[in-house]
């Protein structure tokens, strides 16, 4: 299962070759704070007729979300999701308390931003002290959903991949096994609280209520990497609610600039990642403004010329995580009397891809590994204009895996791994729909970078 921001997706998969046997889905409520019990109802709906057919189960889920429970195991308040930016100030405070950005990265693998769970706990302490005082246990979304299907009496559990996005877990501690930092959780929340057990990669975490093996589960980005069998010479770009560029590394990274987060993956390695908050929503909003559907938006964008007739914009509509501009808004530049609807559509596609091209460049600069493959997945990867423009702005050929729910596939692969009891996950073939090619277009990137840097300077001057 993939318990994502928008919905629960369930896949029943053949453990031998990864072929999808059956699937289900159910929507989640919209918003950046959600009653987590809604995820359980979606889980029950999405898995109807599937769960009883499974020989093993694993759940991947949206990273970072703060699920706080009281002594009775009931939610203290609605969960704050990864894309809720109200804790941006708390992130700055916690970084200072850790000794600065590089010190923060050295301890956690990442520089804190508003997405991380610890920043939301500090916000809770400072703004809702009566709720903070009731917190007995802190879980991540996938931990909470996994507890719903686990046999009674099972202690809550997680994996090092999802734990590495909390802000109170050191992924490189204990020789890479990782370890909780209860001192950092206590400093964030203002009191101690229970955390889930961290289950080793490939291990069985418990059993379901039906007695079937239950794997640890993981974060959504770790699930996608596992579902695509990502390797150290691959970069995965995913364009969904968030935009993500990630790769696999054997050793931990610690980027004090905060551009690259040094998460753990679901196999015992690391998952350096760059994440943007504004991704597919950029195209959703542009289609709505122009009064077209996504197919028409793509046709308009393709009808324009590279550079969108001189129009550039920064797509930071709801604030941004990378670059870290939580108070930013969308900013258009270069509009003139000759600007066409096609130019506006093209500018949206180019801004989305320039943002992700920056993410790929940051990964390459930090790891020193030029990617052998760049893979493109996610809902917005179906957009024909995105496909047409991607090679030029990414400056690389782009591989299109067949359409699929790769987070859920990764969870299924993890379940198959736990079922098999082998040292490594099963090998499943990855089918592709082709490779996108085209010459690089540095001019568009340069204009986008100029606007991005101007916004940085403006933010710093404040």
Report residue 121 as tokens: 């706990």
What are 332's strand-pairing partners? 313
> Residue by residue, what is the 3-state secondary structure of 254-322?
CCCCCCCEEEECCCCCEEEEEEECCCHHHHHHHHHHHCCCHHHHHHHHHHCCCCHHHCEEECCECEECC
The b/e string for 153-179 (b: 16+ C-beta within 10 A; e otherwise) is ebebbbbbbbbbbbbbbbbbbeeeebe
In the residue annotation, 402 being an active-site residue is answered as no
User: Which residues is 67 bridged to in the sheet?
Assistant: 139
Task: List all residues 6 or more positions away from 239 whose beta carbon is below 8 Å from its beta carbon.
Answer: 279, 280, 352, 356, 376, 377, 378, 379, 380, 381, 386
- Hey, is 367 helix, strand or coil? helix
C-alpha–C-alpha distance, residues 203 and 300, integer Å: 50
Residue from 340, 278, 287, 288 nearest 309 by CA: 340
Which run of H or of E encompasses 160? helix 160-163
The Cα–Cα gap between 261 and 163 comes to: 13
Spell out the residues 6+ positions from residue 100 whose beta carbon is closer than 8 angstroms to its own.
Answer: 256
Q: Which of 159, 220, 229, 234 is catalytic?
A: 220
Q: Helix, strand, or coil here: 441? A: coil
Q: CA-CA distance, 252 to 179, in Å (whole number)?
A: 14
20 DSSP assignment: E
**Contacts for 172-175: CB closer than 8 Å, 24+ residues apart:** 172/109, 172/252
- Reference 348, options 398, 298, 293, 291; nearest CA is 298
CA distances from 119 to 62, 140, 260, 288, 362 (A): 16, 14, 18, 33, 24
Residues with active-site annotation = 220
């Amino acid at each position: 299962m993939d318990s994502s921001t928008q919905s629960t997706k369930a896949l029943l998969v053949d453990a031998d070759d990864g072929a999808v046997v059956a699937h289900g889905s159910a929507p989640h409520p919209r918003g950046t704070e959600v009653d987590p019990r809604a995820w359980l109802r979606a889980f029950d709906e999405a898995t109807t007729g599937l769960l009883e057919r499974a020989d093993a189960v694993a759940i991947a889920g949206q990273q970072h979300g703060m699920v706080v429970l009281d002594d009775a195991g009931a939610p203290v308040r609605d969960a704050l999701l990864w894309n809720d930016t109200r804790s941006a100030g708390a992130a700055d405070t916690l970084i200072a308390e850790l000794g600065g950005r590089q010190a923060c990265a050295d301890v956690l693998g990442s520089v804190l931003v508003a997405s991380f769970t610890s920043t939301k706990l500090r916000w809770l302490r400072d703004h809702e002290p009566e709720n903070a005082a009731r917190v007995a246990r802190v879980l991540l979304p996938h931990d909470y959903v996994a507890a719903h299907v686990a046999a009674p009496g099972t202690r809550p559990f997680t994996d090092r991949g999802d734990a590495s996005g909390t802000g109170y877990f050191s992924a490189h501690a204990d020789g890479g096994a990782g370890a909780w930092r209860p001192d950092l959780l206590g400093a964030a929340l203002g009191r101690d609280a229970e955390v889930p057990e961290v289950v080793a990669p490939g291990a069985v975490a418990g059993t379901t209520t039906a007695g079937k093996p239950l794997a640890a589960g993981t974060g959504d980005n770790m699930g996608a990497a596992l579902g695509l069998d990502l390797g150290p010479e691959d970069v995965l770009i995913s364009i969904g609610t968030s935009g993500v560029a990630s790769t696999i590394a054997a050793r931990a990274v610690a980027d004090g600039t905060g551009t690259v987060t040094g998460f753990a993956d679901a196999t015992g390695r690391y998952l350096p990642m760059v994440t943007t908050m504004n991704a597919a929503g950029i195209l959703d909003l542009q289609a709505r403004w122009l009064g077209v559907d996504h197919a028409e938006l793509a046709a308009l964008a393709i009808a324009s010329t590279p550079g969108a007739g001189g129009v550039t914009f920064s797509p930071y509509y709801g604030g941004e995580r990378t670059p870290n501009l939580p108070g930013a808004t969308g900013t258009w530049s270069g509009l003139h009397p000759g600007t066409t609807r096609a130019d506006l559509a093209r500018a949206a596609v180019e801004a989305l891809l320039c943002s992700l091209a920056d993410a790929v460049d940051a990964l390459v600069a930090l790891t020193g590994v030029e990617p052998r493959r760049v893979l493109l997945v996610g809902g917005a990867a179906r957009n024909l204009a995105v496909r047409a423009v991607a090679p030029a702005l990414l400056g690389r050929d782009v591989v299109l895996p067949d359409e699929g729910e790769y987070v859920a596939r990764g969870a299924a692969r993890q379940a198959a791994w736990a079922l098999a009891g082998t040292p490594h996950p099963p090998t499943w073939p990855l089918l592709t729909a082709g490779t996108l090619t085209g010459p690089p277009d540095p001019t568009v990137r340069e204009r986008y970078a100029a606007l991005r840097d101007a916004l940085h300077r403006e933010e710093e001057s404040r």
